[in-house]
Every structure is written in structure tokens, then in C-alpha cells.
Amino acid sequence: MATSINLVITPSPASICIGSSVNLTATGATTYTWSPATGLSATTGSVVSANPTSTTTSTVTGASGSCSTTSTVTVTVNPLPAAPVISQSVNVLTSTPALTYQWYLNSSPIPGATSQSYTISQTGTYEVCITDANGCSACSGPYNAIFTGMEDPLTQGTFTIYPNPNNGQFTLSFELGTEDNYMLELTDALGQVVYSESLPGFSGKYTRYFDLTQYGSGVYMITLRNTKDQSVKKVIVW
């Protein structure tokens, strides 16, 4: 008889990136036997670690006294994304497309640098690590970027934030000498956009007061871009 056992496996189904593992937990019985053994850390016990190299379906037999039943779980193995490639235009580094990004300078993560592009302010060795829609990650090779001294290619040094650091309240200003279609974005440390503004056919001086007190302290990034370049400034809210 098998009706008295409610055998449950969690998570089910499961998904991992190749080279990773997931713990499979069986409940509802007294003893458990897993098969096939390939890709499993053990063939008995309520919890086993699964690290198959390809998508695999495992079967567990749960027994309590004279009763037993079986259940299955499929572990989907996702490939790693291709390593991102970095390109440079003036002081802007750009990664090949992905879902999320984290930029590094000399092996240390850059706070707030979580967009596809990052504007450098110093010469150094940069890397970017990306994540795809399956949650799998890959990192670029080291990229030796040279800072040209033109930190602010769009506004030519007029991009200012005052005060900075601040308590969440500050004024942003810049002046654009070339009429173009611009986009202004303010993002938090997770890369989430908290403010955006389109500036079609804009030139001249721009000034705006911001109040970020509702979003809390942290590192924010303000990005101004057109179709060719972008200028990025860091805002520190304490």
C-alpha cells in the first residue's frame, strides 16, 4: 500500500546554472532512496545535493513501515551566458547586452555601477560581470581603460550637483551647447530608475531640485545621454 505516504520534494521543479548545485529535500516518509546516482551527493537521506551537468530527472522512493511510494523531480541545467565584451568610447565603457550588470575597478566592485554602460573617471583595469534571465552569471576579461581627461563629454564640465554628499536634497545643473535629444535618468544602487526625464531637441542650461529623502540613504547615479555619448555623476545620500 502507498496511500498513507504524502511524498513531497522541494524545490520541484528545480533550476541551476551549470557548475552549480541545489539541495533537494524530500518529506512525508521515514526513509528515502534516490536514483539515478549520477549528479547526486548521496542516494539515501531526506536531503541530497544535485549538481548534474545536463537536465536530469531524479526519482525518490519514500518508505514508512511497509508502505512506500515514489516521486520525481526534474533539475534543469542552464548554460552560462557568453562572457561579456567591453568596448570603450571616450570615457564610456559598454558591455554586451545582459539582464543585470556589475562593474569592477581593479577587482573591486564599483558602487552603483550596475548599468550596461559605465563612465570612468580614472585609468585602471575594469571588468563587468553580467547575469542572464536564468540567473546565470559570467564575467569579462580585464579591460585596461585609459581615462582621456574628458570626464564630461556632453556638458564639458558644467555637470554639477550641489551639495554632494547630501541628505537627499540637492540641485542638479548642466549646460548643453549642442541641440539634441537627451535623456536624464536617476538610478539607485540596484540600478532601479527613480526619476527619468526626456529632453527632446534641448540645448542651453538645465537646473532641477531633487528630493530623495523618501528613497533613503545610499549611492545614486545620474546619467545624461544622447545617441552618441553619456555623462554620469555619482550622488551620495547619507
All 3 cell numbers of residue 165? 554628499
* One-character DSSP codes across 152-193: -TTTTT--EEESSSBSSEEEEEEEEEEEEEEEEEEE-TTS-E
Tens digit of pLDDT for each residue in 45-59?
999 999 999 999 999
DSSP bridge partners of 220: 235
In the predicted structure, residue 3 carries a pLDDT above the cut 90: no
Rounded-to-integer distance, Cα 95 and Cα 45, Å: 45
191 or 69, which is more confident? 69
Q: pLDDT grade, residue 119 (50/70/90)?
A: confident
Phi and psi dihedrals of 6, rounded to 5? -105, 90
Tens digit of pLDDT for each residue in 142-184?
999 988 765 567 887 788 899 988 999 999 999 998 899 999 9
Helix ranges, 5-98 (H) = none
For the chain, which domains are there?
A: 8-78 (2.60.40.1080), 86-145 (no CATH), 160-237 (2.60.40.3080)
Rounded-to-integer distance, Cα 20 and Cα 137, Å: 11
